[in-house]
Each structure stands twice: as C-alpha cells, then as structure tokens.
Chain A
Amino acid sequence: MVMSESPIQYDVEIKTDDLKTMLQACYQCSSCTSVCPVRRYSKFNPRKIIHKYLYDYGVSEDDLTSCLTCGLCLEVCPHQIDFPEFIRLKREQQGVNEDLFAHHNIFNIMQVFMNEITDSGMKFEYEGKLNPESSVAYFPGCIDLYDKFLDLKETSFHEIGQSAINVMNKIGVNPNLLSLKCCGHDAYWTGDMDAYEQVREFNTQVIKDSGISTLVVSCAECYYSFMDLYNLEGVDIQHISHFVEENKDKLDFNAEATTLTYHDPCRLGRFMNEYESPRKVLEATGASIKEISLNKQFSKCCGVSAWLKCDDVSRSIMLRKLEDATRAVGEEGTLTVACSKCYAHLNCVLEDKKPQHDFKIKVKELGMIVDERSSPK
C-alpha cells in the first residue's frame, strides 16, 4: 500500500535553540499540570507552555511570572524535564517587569542598593555571645529587612536570628556573625544575573577572608544558594536543622510533649533533598509530628517565590496550605517551617484576617521551636 502524500504542504520551519533542546523530551503527558499548585487556582498550564514554546508561540509574560519554580513538576515528570530551570532561563532572556513584584519591588531595589550604593554587607544587631574569630559562622539572611518593610504587627523576624544564636550559645558555640549581602537567590531566580553575580562575588570573598570552616544559615534559600549556586570549597554549609541534629546531645530537651506539623520548603526539600533532618530535630525536642497529607517531595509550595506576583492565586495557595495544616494538627496547633520566606508568607496571610478565614494555627520557624523547647546541659 502506498500512502498518499498530504494534499496540504506545511511550510513550517521550527528553529531549535538550547531551551528547546531542554524541552524536547516532553511527550505532553500533563503530569506537571496535574500537580502544579498554581494550576489549582488559575489557567496556568506548564504542559501548554512547553508545547507553545516548542512550536514558536513564545511564552507570555503572565505565564513567565506566575510560575513558583517550586520544582514539583520536575519531581513527577517521567523525563525529568527541568521546567523551573526553563522558566529561569526564559526570565533571564526576556526580563521581568518590575511592576509585577510585590511590595513595590522593595526587596529587589534593596539588593541593587546593596550593590551600587552601600557596597558593604548587612549590619546586624543581635544579643548573645558572639565571637568574631570563631570557626563557626552564622548568617541570618535578609530577615531584618522584612521587619522593616513588611507591615506585620504580630510577627517578628528578628526572633528567627535571635533564637538561632540562642540555640548555638546553648550548645556552647559562640558564632561569628557574618556581615554578608543578600544571598542572591531572588535575583538568580528572576533572571537578574548582574545583581546575582555581584553579590556572589562579594559574599564568596567575605566568606573566604573570614577563614571559617562552618557556615550555619536559618533560611532554606540561603542554604540552597550557598550550597548549590556558590562555589565555596572548604566551607561546610549547614542549615540550622543540620547543626542542631549534629549537636543534639549537648542540649537538654525537657519541654512537655506536643504535636506539630511540618511544611517542607521547596528549596530545602526538593532542591536539596533534605527531608529527614528537620523532622529528627523536631522529634528530638519531644514533639510528635503529624504529617500534612501531601508532604516530603510532594509538598505544595507556600505560595510566593522571589517576591514575584503576590496575587489572589498566591493567597489561595497559602490558605490551602493553612487548611491542610489545620486538618493535620488541629485548630490550635503549630505549623513549623524551615525557611524564613515561608514564615513570612504564611504569617502574612494569617495576620490578614478576613471574614473568609479565621485560622487559629500558629506558624513558627524551626529554630524558634528548638530555642523554646531546649535548655543548656
């Protein structure tokens, strides 16, 4: 049998580029779309974005900025197509409109401000025993700036850093409080590579000059950036959960038993494959963990990433997260997070009490829980 040729002559010439090569393996199974947290509340569709891009329809600005780059699609993709990386590279090529950032883009302006005008690291003021010549350093991240610019009355971000330092003091370590710039995570993920490279160079230099061997951070994003993006040979980067887990024999946990639930931040969980360490730390403090129905590598994102586009969709995702947590741990329970950003976003929606929701659940950071429930030996 001879197949007849198609009567229509298609005159389509598809050009290839690196990004297309990245997406070539996609066979449109739509697994990514079915798990995407943004897809639950909007028409955002990763499968369709890949399809459109492969056939030269481009990527709309709305699609480009709606993605949370949480990596859940990568987790379920049968061909491991790195959709978050594709979005990042596309943002780098196309640029992101700065009006789409939340809080008048203040945090990105801050980052450029640090690079262009002040050109020094952030100066922190924390109480506790600090030793500038210690081999163990601590970097709280940009949390002190959140206190100033986010209008949250009941949430203190300074407390995250303070409790981490308290915990380290209780263990018997007097950390060196490093004066770094912002880690550059947000600039990297929104495609602002100039700003990112500048902070990376500065931070690498400061860390090398300080001669430390261990750097402890509180924020999952800092941990991911220092570990994965920076090239810090000879410096052991530890999230606060690793540090406490290693030294938990030196702490005395005598608080009464309680029940908590834990939210896996995408940067610590899916990106760095760290699921067990925070759970072990929480269990060591005498708390029993009730898991959220979707946890570990299938944990849904907290709703906003890199301060990009905090809209009704983000709000719905956050409310859903709190709902899930309430279902797991009960009305008056506590949700533990291991990332300052998740802490900020979830507390923001908690404080914004509208008639539609009245959550009584508390959101706390891991270091704060350890500080509350421990005493020195």
Chain B
Amino acid sequence: MTQVETKPQIENFEPTILVFACNWCSYAGADLAGVSRLKYPSNVRIVRVMCSGRVDPAFVMKAFLKGADGVMVAGCHPGDCHYLEGNLRAKERIDKMVEAMQVLGFKVERFRLEWISASEGKRFAQIMTEFTEKIRSLGPLKP
C-alpha cells in the first residue's frame, strides 16, 4: 500500500474507502452489481481476499494509517462461509479490534463489518453508497 500523496481538500472531499471482500460471496456480489449495471461510488477500492477470516486487525489498522478514510470488511452470511466458519472467526477477531479501537479513542463509525452474499448485487451497491456518504459526512481522517 502506498501513501496517498495528495491531501484531499475539505471542500470537495472525496473519501478513500477500502473494502476487504471475500472471494466467494462479497466479491461475487460486487461482480453482480457491475454486471447488472448498478451505480455505486468510485471511492470504493476493493481488495479481494479468499475469506473474510483472512483479514487481520493489523490490515485494517494499517489501512487507516496509510490514508484510508473508511474501511469495510465484507464476508458471507453466517453459515454460508465457503470454509465453514471463517467468517465467524473474522467476526470474533474484529469485534475485539473494535473494542481496542475504543480503548484508543478512535471513532468506530469509520469501520464496518457487513455480510453480503453473491446474489445481493443490489445490496452491495446500496451499502457502498450509504457507507461512502457516511464517511463523506465525517470528513477526512487526517486533516
């Protein structure tokens, strides 16, 4: 991940949003959104991971440090995981990370964990739009 060099202006602030999407559900959901020609903001950068359980808290923290204004982890619905319980482990780990962020005094609205399945292209576009608007209203992370 390279540092974002240009600092965004607050007036026309375009948030940088990083999404860790699981290969089997959420990434397929994003594909479906694309194939169905649904619109969602171009602020979203997707990183494909094989399972949401692959996402370590360190990746999320580092994404914030390297210039992301919002981070989302998207995986299969509980019970649908391709690897049986990867998403449940992700949830366990990420819940603890959110608690740690609160210890540090960080606004946890900038982070979200969502379950999006392969057939929910419409929902993917909807969540991304909603999350981008939310981050846009919060403003840049590093002024």
Contact = CB atoms under 8 A, between A and B. Distances in A.
B100 A109 contact: no
B133 interface: no
Interface residues of A, number: 22
A122 B103 contact: yes
B142 interface: yes
Contacts of B104: 110, 113-114, 118, 120, 122-123
Contacts of A145: 100, 103
Contact of A113 (B64, B96, B99): B64
Nearest to B64: A117
B139 interface: no
B107 to A, nearest CB: 9
B56 A104 contact: yes
A351 interface: no
Interface in B48-67: 56-59, 61-62, 64-65
A117 B58 contact: no
Contacts of A118: 104-106
B100 A104 contact: no
Interface in B93-143: 96-97, 99-100, 102-106, 141-142
B99 A123 contact: no
A272 interface: no
Describe A's contact surface by its main secondary structure.
helix
A110 B106 CA distance: 11
A118 B65 CA distance: 11
Nearest to A147: B96
B58 A109 contact: yes
A216 to B, nearest CB: 20
B65 A109 contact: yes
Contacts of B100: 110, 144-145, 148-149
A228 interface: no
Interface in A104-120: 104-106, 109-110, 112-114, 116-118, 120
Contact of B103 (A104, A106, A112, A124): A124
Interface in B4-20: none
B59 to A, nearest CB: 8
A109 B96 contact: no
B141 A117 contact: yes
Contacts of A105: 58
A103 interface: yes
A117 B65 contact: yes
A116 B105 contact: no
Interface of B: 56-59, 61-62, 64-65, 96-97, 99-100, 102-106, 141-142
20 contacts: A106-B56, A106-B57, A106-B58, A109-B65, A110-B104, A113-B61, A116-B142, A117-B142, A118-B106, A121-B105, A122-B103, A122-B104, A123-B102, A144-B100, A145-B103, A148-B99, A148-B100, A148-B103, A149-B57, A149-B100
Interface of A: 103-106, 109-110, 112-114, 116-118, 120-124, 144-145, 147-149
